[in-house]
């Protein structure tokens, strides 16, 4: 039986040549990147790399940004090239034309990897149809709806991170940190994994093996220690912050979340987008509502304080969370099977704009290179109901409810309900939005003045604060 353990990370990545394609695991801006291997690859210095990943992670941390900072990447294929905050060196390279970028929906990225590893050259999907990611791709209709052709991906190398492995390369993951590792390993000709503990063959029980050793070529011990409390987190405005319109207070961010939470039915399975939609978590205590996360988790709870944060227990937005009895963990392929397989009752997402026909735009902001799709395209297509939470106007006072989106859309005609800091609107069976509720102290006329789409007004107009 082959012993796949190598003594150092430098030895593990020594043969990655210039021009190689490398899949890099890691989730969000900071969680469970293969930091030891990334530092070794940075020192090794291979250039002109094609890198596949969810995103490069946070600058200034031991993430895949190390490779961009060292100008080793010529092509990036990812779900995120930009995130809120100051531009990264990778974004500057994209703008300068020294780094080519292809944006791929998160669920389609792992599915393309899964397909490539399984010997499937291509497949059709509804995800991305009618959006910028469909440009130049073959389109066929199934069930009367357009689907685009996506090609399987194989790579020269994958660098991964696990919890434990034995000398044969059998791997165990922990919590929500499995995510991309399975599909990336299967797509790679040579998969290299770093783990916290290396065991003798037989010390891992068969049911503890999440990824068989046949997919792993090299195993190395993790030596880069990351303090949980030092991990960069998404910046978030205070839940109590709110805008004023005409000198009158609108709903706070927390209250938007509270109103959206009240829309959810008991015994439903829900996915929450990052940012404002996460406010919904605070109003689900005691509710029979199951939360799903794209990184591979079902049935998690509220946010965990940093003092009791576990690096493997986090949601798709990077927030540390508690887990509930009956929680399950799985890889991102399974997670998006749940999403695209119509097993989510609702998804709650933020948005830059919502069009009068239900079009959703939330992944690309003018002025930033590329964009950040994440799992939004998969979720918007797969969920039975799409609820959007957002402020009624943007930071410059421009309406976000528009007749037609001029931002690139995430999915067409998908939005069911919109909850803003001023109003609740529901899309009727006739395709038009109906203003059903307004924030206390505001009139329908005031809301319509701040709305750039044609809407109907319900005869029995309600007050948002009276609905929770």
In a domain, 195, yes or no: yes
| Token code pair at residue 17 | 């040549």
In a domain, 158, yes or no: yes
Q: 147 and 267 share a domain?
A: no
Distance from C-alpha of 179 to C-alpha of 200, rounded to nearest angstrom: 25
Q: 277 and 191 share a domain?
A: no
| Token code pair at residue 332 | 């991102």
In a domain, 236, yes or no: no
The owner of tokens 């353990």 is 5
Q: 255 and 216 share a domain?
A: no
In a domain, 301, yes or no: yes
Distance from C-alpha of 347 to C-alpha of 356, rounded to nearest angstrom: 19
* CA nearest neighbour of 216 among 184, 239, 244, 241: 184
In a domain, 268, yes or no: yes
**How are the residues of the chain apportioned to helix, strand and coil, as percentages rounded to the nearest 5?**
25, 30, 45
The pLDDT of residue 235: 47
3-state class (DSSP) for residue 94: helix
| Token code pair at residue 409 | 């859309």
The pLDDT of residue 76: 97
Q: 404 and 323 share a domain?
A: yes
Q: Where are the beta strands (DSSP E) in 337-455?
A: 346-349, 353-355, 360-361, 386-389, 401-402, 417-419, 423-427, 433-438
Q: 99 and 215 share a domain?
A: yes
Rg (CA), the chain: 23
The pLDDT of residue 386: 98
Q: Parallel, antiparallel, or unpaired: how do β-strands 433-438 and 417-419 relate?
A: unpaired
The pLDDT of residue 87: 80
In a domain, 245, yes or no: no
Q: What is the pLDDT of residues 201-245, one digit of tens each?
A: 999 999 999 999 999 999 999 999 877 666 555 545 578 888 999
* CATH number of the domain encompassing residue 91: 3.40.1080.10
Helices within 56-215 (DSSP H only): 65-69, 89-96, 106-117, 181-187
* CA nearest neighbour of 312 among 181, 166, 158: 181
The pLDDT of residue 295: 95
358 in Cβ contact with 414 (< 8 Å): yes
175 in Cβ contact with 329 (< 8 Å): yes
Catalytic option among 294, 391, 436, 437: 294
Task: Tell me how many domains the chain contains.
Answer: 2
- Average pLDDT of the chain is 94
In a domain, 230, yes or no: no
Look up the domain containing 21 and give its range: 9-221
DSSP 170-212: -EE--GGG-TTHHHHHHHEEEEEEEESEEE-TTSS-GGG-SB-
Q: 206 and 303 share a domain?
A: no
Calculate the alpha carbon distances from 286 to 257, 282, 301 in Å. 16, 11, 11
Q: 257 and 317 share a domain?
A: yes
Residue ranges, the chain, pLDDT below 70 = 84-85, 228-237, 367
Helices within 16-105 (DSSP H only): 35-44, 65-69, 89-96
User: How many C-beta neighbours within 10 Å does residue 434 have?
Assistant: 16
In the residue annotation, 294 being an active-site residue is answered as yes
Q: 294 and 196 share a domain?
A: no
In a domain, 384, yes or no: yes
Can you give the pTM of this predicted structure?
Answer: 0.95
The pLDDT of residue 241: 86
């Amino acid at each position: 039986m082959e012993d796949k353990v190598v003594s150092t990370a430098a030895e593990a990545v020594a043969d990655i040549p210039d021009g190689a394609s490398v899949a890099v695991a890691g989730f969000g801006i900071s969680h469970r990147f293969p930091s030891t291997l990334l530092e070794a690859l940075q020192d090794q210095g291979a250039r002109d790399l094609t890198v596949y990943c969810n995103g490069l992670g946070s600058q200034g941390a031991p993430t895949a940004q190390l490779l961009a900072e060292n100008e080793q990447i010529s092509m990036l294929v990812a779900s995120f090239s930009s995130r809120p905050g100051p531009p990264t060196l990778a974004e500057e390279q994209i703008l300068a034309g020294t780094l080519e970028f292809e944006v791929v929906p998160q669920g389609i990225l792992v599915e393309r990897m899964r397909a490539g590893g399984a010997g499937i050259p291509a497949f059709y999907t509804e995800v991305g149809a009618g959006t910028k990611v469909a440009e130049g791709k073959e389109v066929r209709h199934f069930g009367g709806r357009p689907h685009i052709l996506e090609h399987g991906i194989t790579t020269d190398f994958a660098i991964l991170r696990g919890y434990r492995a034995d000398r044969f390369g059998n791997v165990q993951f922990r919590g929500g940190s499995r995510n991309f590792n399975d599909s990336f390993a299967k797509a790679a000709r040579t998969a290299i994994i770093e783990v916290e503990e290396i065991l003798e063959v037989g010390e891992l029980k068969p049911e503890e093996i999440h990824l068989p050793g046949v997919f792993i070529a090299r195993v190395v011990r993790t030596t880069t220690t990351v303090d949980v409390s030092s991990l960069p987190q998404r910046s978030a405005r205070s839940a109590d912050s709110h805008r004023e319109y005409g000198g009158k207070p609108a709903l706070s961010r927390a209250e938007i979340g509270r109103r959206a939470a009240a829309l959810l039915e008991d015994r439903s399975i829900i996915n929450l987008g990052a940012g404002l939609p996460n406010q919904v978590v605070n109003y689900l205590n005691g509710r029979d509502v199951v939360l799903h996360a794209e990184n591979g988790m079902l049935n998690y709870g509220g946010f965990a304080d940093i003092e009791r944060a576990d690096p493997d227990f986090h949601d798709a937005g990077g927030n540390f969370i508690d887990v509930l009895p009956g929680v399950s963990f799985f890889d991102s392929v399974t997670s998006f099977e749940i999403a695209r397989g119509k097993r989510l009752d609702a998804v709650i997402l933020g948005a830059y704009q919502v069009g009068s026909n239900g079009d959703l735009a939330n992944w690309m902001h003018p002025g930033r290179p590329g964009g950040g799709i994440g799992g939004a395209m998969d979720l918007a297509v797969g969920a039975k109901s799409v609820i959007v939470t957002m402020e009624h106007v943007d930071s410059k006072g421009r309406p976000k409810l528009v007749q037609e989106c001029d931002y690139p859309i995430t999915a067409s005609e998908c939005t069911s309900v919109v909850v803003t800091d001023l109003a609740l609107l529901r899309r009727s069976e006739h395709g038009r939005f109906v203003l059903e509720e307004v924030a206390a102290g505001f009139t329908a006329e005031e809301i319509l003045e701040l709305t750039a789409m044609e809407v109907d007004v319900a005869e029995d107009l309600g007050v948002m604060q009276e609905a929770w």
